[in-house]
Chain A
Amino acid sequence: MPTLPINIGSYLVNLCSALLLLTCFAIVAQRRLMACVDLFALQSVFLAVTATLVAYLTGIHHIYLAAVLTIAIKAIILPRILKKIVRQLNVQREVSMYVNIPTGLLTCGGLVILAFFITQPIVHLGFLLTQDSLAIALAIVLIGFFIMVSRLKAVTQVIGFLVIENGLFLAATAAAYGMPLIVELGIFFDVLVAGLIVGIYTHQIQEAFGSVDTSRMKALKE
């Protein structure tokens, strides 16, 4: 049985979730691609910590395994792949964006409010431990989506996709104390494969268009 009082546990979980959200904002505000990848790795570490906390507080053991896999895949392997791509492509900075950084941050703030507003009716139905995490998870999903929409470079769009994945994982942990182990394993495998495929796909874009700027793909339109 956990030795921590349940409300302190709840605070800790909320704290970690908030840190996750914070890294999201940092990614939105960051132009340098290497830093974005690092921030994503950091976010994954926070995610693993949250999962460990939940596992410890609830005594559900397979969440530990999920936390270990998160560290391994999302904090170590995927960032390495992404960094390799960034080095190969020799694109260090995202110069132009569809939405500039201050506006982007404001929009993300709006998205967080929206997420809290939407989850309002369901929060009090949830477990005490992870009450606010669901809202934060939804906010992370929305911000991840926003990153995908607002950035031009394929690499940052991949990061946006992975952020969405992190948000979903947090939601699963928060709302349901994790999914069945087999599902989680499947998802990790999927993410890994997706990372690899996207790496190749980015290369192809680079080869075909001489840039990883996805807006160049307009040329494919008839």
Chain B
Amino acid sequence: MTILLFLVLLLAYVSGMLLPLCFPGRPHIQNVIAHGSASVACGMGIVLGLVGLLASEPLVWFLPSSIPLLTFSLRLDALSAFFVLTISLVGLAVSVFASGYVREFYGRIPVSLLGFLYNGFLLSMLLVVMADNAFFFLIVWELMSLLSYFLVVSEHEKPDVRFAGLFYLIMTHVGTAFILVTFLMFYQETGSFAFEAFRSADQSLPEGLRTLVFWTALIGLGTKAGIVPLHVWLPYAHPAAPSHVSALMSGVMIKTAIYGLLRVYFDFLGGPFPWWWGFVVLLVGTVSALLGVMYALMEHDLKSLLAFHSVENIGIILMGIGTGMVFYAYDMPHLAALGIIAGLYHTINHAVFKALLFMGAGSLLYATHTRNMEEYGGLLRRMPWTGLFFLIGAVSISALPPTNGFVSEWLVFQGLFLSLELPSLFLKFMLPIAAALLALTGALALACFVKAFGISFLALPRSSHARKALEVPVPMRVGMGFLAGLCLVLGLGPAVVVPLLDRVSEPFAGISIAGRVFEMGGWTLAPVSGAFSSLSTPVLAIILAGLTGLGWGLAYVLGGKGKTRFYKTWGCGLNVTARMEYTATGFVQPIKRVFSTIYQPTVKLETEFLEESHYFAKRRHFEFSIEPIFLKYLYHPILDFFSTLADRSRVIQGGNLSLYLAYIFMTLVFLLMVMG
């Protein structure tokens, strides 16, 4: 039954890839077929994911191949099913959105090609999380990377897009190399590429090898996930792609790395691992979360801003998982499960709201043809639906109740606070610090989205682009609306979501906690006990709604007249223009000052005075930039080293044919003499 479902899904993707090619020169038909098939396939994927989550046994499909060591084996256990579900949910919304968004590209980029790559990309991600053979995994992983690369460089006529693509390609291959090494180490020990063999080998691996696997997996998969300091490609590549692809890359693709980490650490390595593994993951997560949000604040390109927020949220996910690993190492399965569930919950939440926000950014791009926030403004009146959905996404990512981001971050906090129960004094000390930094991250994220929403949607239009903006087509609104609804559903329904996630974490933590974390008949979430902490988002939502209603009511009762007066706001007799508004740069100025140690900002202010008097400025030129620390101190030295090396070795390349022949000749003679 499920195999049939899977085959239909496969068929839908393949037809989405190939059918549009049969209608050359008809972009509209290509668009409808490509994204229609993708939507159908994603619908199937949602069902498949749910079936996999609820199945008691992992579903295994197996297809041998004639290539040695390679089998097309797929396995759908709870972890895979969860990611299949996440990919398909987001994929469905993005596909609907894309059917409107790619109209932008008619006549510029072949839509059939875009559809081919898009469907292939979705399919490869699904196969990545379902692969049950290291060889097969690497093939689909590589496919995923390459297809996303081609999607990133869709607008390859722009030089910065080409640069972003190249940067991405290099970084992702460095990551793949590390993953390859990880699997080869397993292969060396087990003599097989099947994940089944890796799984059963966990305990027999030597301690040194296990540590090595821990690091290579963290670096390899971390490059894809975008952990600091391997995140540098992310703010280039994600904004360069077409917005619906950015939504997929930022929302879903980087999550395949989270899948990989869980698979390798809990499933393959399993068993008791040292506590410092969890601590390293937690540390990496905390640093990524904090630096991600801090750099996001300084961005005025909406899509780059969102890309940096992906770094932040990957950090939060890793904080959850890292906490889980620490508890697991100390044999506290109940809390370990809590950490994993928190991480997974945030995974799906981030997938949903980040895809939503990227689609919002795409809508703004569609309407205004610019990504620079300083040229937006006043868009809420012109694009009310987009504004509403973007606001919901912004509220979610800022972790405000009663949305989904709040629930998962709250769970991460619970895990960190429960470090009081750990036997180690060091961790008792460190985990609350991580919690404090997470709180700082949340606050900065809120500031960032106040900026993003306020500057973009409120006040007066700052440019003619924004003045002429129109609401986006219906499919785009439907796509965003679906995810906005999902944000609320996931926020209000932890009682449904947590038991499902519990099925994922149960085989890893070895214990099911679904029955223990709820009180009041499922309405309240209480990870330890109601006395320690509890959360009920539905009740919170009711209280919030009640307070809002109360406020309105009071205003109505006390404020007297229900009449609305239209009058200029706080104008003090001046004509208010867009140039008087708070700019995005101005908004973040205080934060930039406070954290100037990290930003190392360079400010340049040049003033041109009137010739007659130095009291009157003719023109002012203001420029400010922040130091890209990682590029400057980590990547550039490495690059410089290699380019120097390449320059040196160029000497042997004389350009003379005889010289090259002589090299071959010398080698031949030398080898003959040595061997002879």
Q: Which residues of B contact A220 (CB under 8 A)?
A: 655
Q: A150 on the interface (CB 8 Å rule)?
A: yes
> CA A119 – CA B668 in complex, angstroms?
14
A118 partner, pick from B653, B657, B665, B676, beta carbons under 8 A:
B676
Q: Given A148-B661, A149-B662, is A218 in contact with B656 using a C-beta cutoff of 8 Å?
A: yes
Q: Which residues of A contact B664 (CB under 8 A)?
A: 145
Smallest CB-CB separation from A205: which chain B residue? B657
Measured between C-beta atoms, what is the minimum distance from B414 to chain A in Å? 60
Chain B residues with a Cβ closer than 8 Å to the other chain, count: 16
Q: B654 on the interface (CB 8 Å rule)?
A: yes
Asked if residues A217 and B673 are in contact (CB atoms below 8 Å), the reply is no
> CA A142 – CA B673 in complex, angstroms?
13
Asked if residues A118 and B672 are in contact (CB atoms below 8 Å), the reply is yes
Asked if residues B654 and A145 are in contact (CB atoms below 8 Å), the reply is no
Q: Given A114-B672, A117-B676, A118-B672, is A145 in contact with B655 using a C-beta cutoff of 8 Å?
A: no
Measured between C-beta atoms, what is the minimum distance from B648 to chain A in Å? 16
Q: A112 on the interface (CB 8 Å rule)?
A: no
Q: Given A118-B676, A121-B676, A149-B662, is A214 in contact with B669 using a C-beta cutoff of 8 Å?
A: no
Asked if residues B672 and A215 are in contact (CB atoms below 8 Å), the reply is no
Measured between C-beta atoms, what is the minimum distance from A79 to chain B in Å? 23
Measured between C-beta atoms, what is the minimum distance from B147 to chain A in Å? 33
Q: Which residues of B contact A111 (CB under 8 A)?
A: 669
Asked if residues B661 and A142 are in contact (CB atoms below 8 Å), the reply is no
- Give chain A interface residues in 120-136, CB to chain B under 8 Å: 120-121
> CA A215 – CA B675 in complex, angstroms?
33
Smallest CB-CB separation from A148: which chain B residue? B661
30 cross-chain CB contacts under 8 A = A114-B672, A114-B673, A117-B676, A118-B672, A118-B675, A118-B676, A121-B676, A142-B668, A142-B669, A145-B661, A145-B668, A146-B665, A148-B658, A149-B661, A149-B662, A149-B665, A150-B658, A152-B658, A157-B657, A157-B661, A215-B656, A215-B657, A215-B658, A217-B657, A218-B655, A219-B655, A220-B655, A221-B653, A221-B654, A221-B655
Measured between C-beta atoms, what is the minimum distance from B658 to chain A in Å? 5
> CA A98 – CA B675 in complex, angstroms?
29
> CA A149 – CA B673 in complex, angstroms?
19
Q: Which residues of B contact A215 (CB under 8 A)?
A: 656-658
Measured between C-beta atoms, what is the minimum distance from B344 to chain A in Å? 52
Measured between C-beta atoms, what is the minimum distance from A156 to chain B in Å? 11
Smallest CB-CB separation from B653: which chain A residue? A221
Q: Which residues of B contact A218 (CB under 8 A)?
A: 654-656
Asked if residues A217 and B655 are in contact (CB atoms below 8 Å), the reply is yes
> CA A152 – CA B656 in complex, angstroms?
10
Other CB < 8 Å A-B pairs besides A118-B673, A148-B658, 17 of them? A111-B669, A114-B669, A117-B676, A118-B675, A119-B676, A142-B668, A145-B665, A149-B665, A150-B658, A152-B658, A157-B661, A215-B657, A215-B658, A218-B654, A218-B655, A220-B655, A221-B653
Smallest CB-CB separation from A219: which chain B residue? B655
Measured between C-beta atoms, what is the minimum distance from A113 to chain B in Å? 11
Smallest CB-CB separation from B659: which chain A residue? A149
> CA A219 – CA B654 in complex, angstroms?
10
Smallest CB-CB separation from A120: which chain B residue? B676
> CA A95 – CA B1 in complex, angstroms?
82
Chain A interface residue number, banded: 20 to 34
Smallest CB-CB separation from A138: which chain B residue? B672
Smallest CB-CB separation from A220: which chain B residue? B655
By secondary structure, the A interface counts as: helix
Measured between C-beta atoms, what is the minimum distance from A216 to chain B in Å? 10
**Chain B residues engaging chain A, CB cutoff 8 angstroms:** 653-658, 661-662, 664-665, 668-669, 672-673, 675-676
> CA A29 – CA B207 in complex, angstroms?
68
A 187-215 binary contact with B (CB < 8 Å = 1; else 0)? 00000000000000000000000000011
> CA A153 – CA B151 in complex, angstroms?
49
Q: Which residues of B contact A98 (CB under 8 A)?
A: 658
> CA A118 – CA B672 in complex, angstroms?
7
> CA A121 – CA B676 in complex, angstroms?
8
Q: Which residues of B contact A221 (CB under 8 A)?
A: 653-655
Asked if residues A214 and B655 are in contact (CB atoms below 8 Å), the reply is no
A 153-183 binary contact with B (CB < 8 Å = 1; else 0)? 0000100000000000000000000000000
Asked if residues B672 and A214 are in contact (CB atoms below 8 Å), the reply is no
Measured between C-beta atoms, what is the minimum distance from B206 to chain A in Å? 44
Q: Which residues of A contact B665 (CB under 8 A)?
A: 145-146, 148-149
> CA A120 – CA B655 in complex, angstroms?
37
Measured between C-beta atoms, what is the minimum distance from A144 to chain B in Å? 10
> CA A96 – CA B535 in complex, angstroms?
91
> CA A75 – CA B653 in complex, angstroms?
37
Measured between C-beta atoms, what is the minimum distance from B674 to chain A in Å? 10
Closest 9 CB pairs of A and B: A221-B655, A118-B676, A218-B655, A214-B657, A149-B662, A149-B661, A145-B665, A148-B661, A118-B672
> CA A145 – CA B669 in complex, angstroms?
10
Asked if residues A214 and B654 are in contact (CB atoms below 8 Å), the reply is no
Q: Given A145-B661, A148-B661, A149-B665, is A217 in contact with B676 using a C-beta cutoff of 8 Å?
A: no
Asked if residues B658 and A149 are in contact (CB atoms below 8 Å), the reply is yes
Smallest CB-CB separation from A121: which chain B residue? B676
> CA A214 – CA B675 in complex, angstroms?
33
Smallest CB-CB separation from B668: which chain A residue? A145
> CA A117 – CA B672 in complex, angstroms?
10
> CA A157 – CA B656 in complex, angstroms?
13
Smallest CB-CB separation from B664: which chain A residue? A145
Q: Which residues of A contact B656 (CB under 8 A)?
A: 214-215, 217-218
Q: Which residues of B contact A214 (CB under 8 A)?
A: 656-658
> CA A221 – CA B650 in complex, angstroms?
11
Measured between C-beta atoms, what is the minimum distance from B661 to chain A in Å? 5
> CA A149 – CA B657 in complex, angstroms?
8
Measured between C-beta atoms, what is the minimum distance from A162 to chain B in Å? 15
Measured between C-beta atoms, what is the minimum distance from A208 to chain B in Å? 14
Q: Which residues of A contact B669 (CB under 8 A)?
A: 111, 114, 142
- Give chain A interface residues in 66-115, CB to chain B under 8 Å: 98, 111, 114
Q: Which residues of A contact B673 (CB under 8 A)?
A: 114, 118
> CA A146 – CA B665 in complex, angstroms?
7
> CA A145 – CA B663 in complex, angstroms?
11
Q: Which residues of A contact B654 (CB under 8 A)?
A: 218, 221
Q: Which residues of B contact A148 (CB under 8 A)?
A: 658, 661, 665
> CA A114 – CA B675 in complex, angstroms?
12
Measured between C-beta atoms, what is the minimum distance from A57 to chain B in Å? 28
> CA A217 – CA B657 in complex, angstroms?
7
Q: Which residues of B contact A145 (CB under 8 A)?
A: 661, 664-665, 668
Smallest CB-CB separation from B663: which chain A residue? A149
Q: Which residues of B contact A157 (CB under 8 A)?
A: 657, 661
Measured between C-beta atoms, what is the minimum distance from B31 to chain A in Å? 43
Smallest CB-CB separation from A117: which chain B residue? B676
> CA A152 – CA B664 in complex, angstroms?
17
Q: Which residues of B contact A219 (CB under 8 A)?
A: 655
Smallest CB-CB separation from B672: which chain A residue? A118
Smallest CB-CB separation from B666: which chain A residue? A149
Q: Which residues of B contact A149 (CB under 8 A)?
A: 658, 661-662, 665
> CA A34 – CA B676 in complex, angstroms?
37
Q: Which residues of A contact B658 (CB under 8 A)?
A: 98, 148-152, 214-215
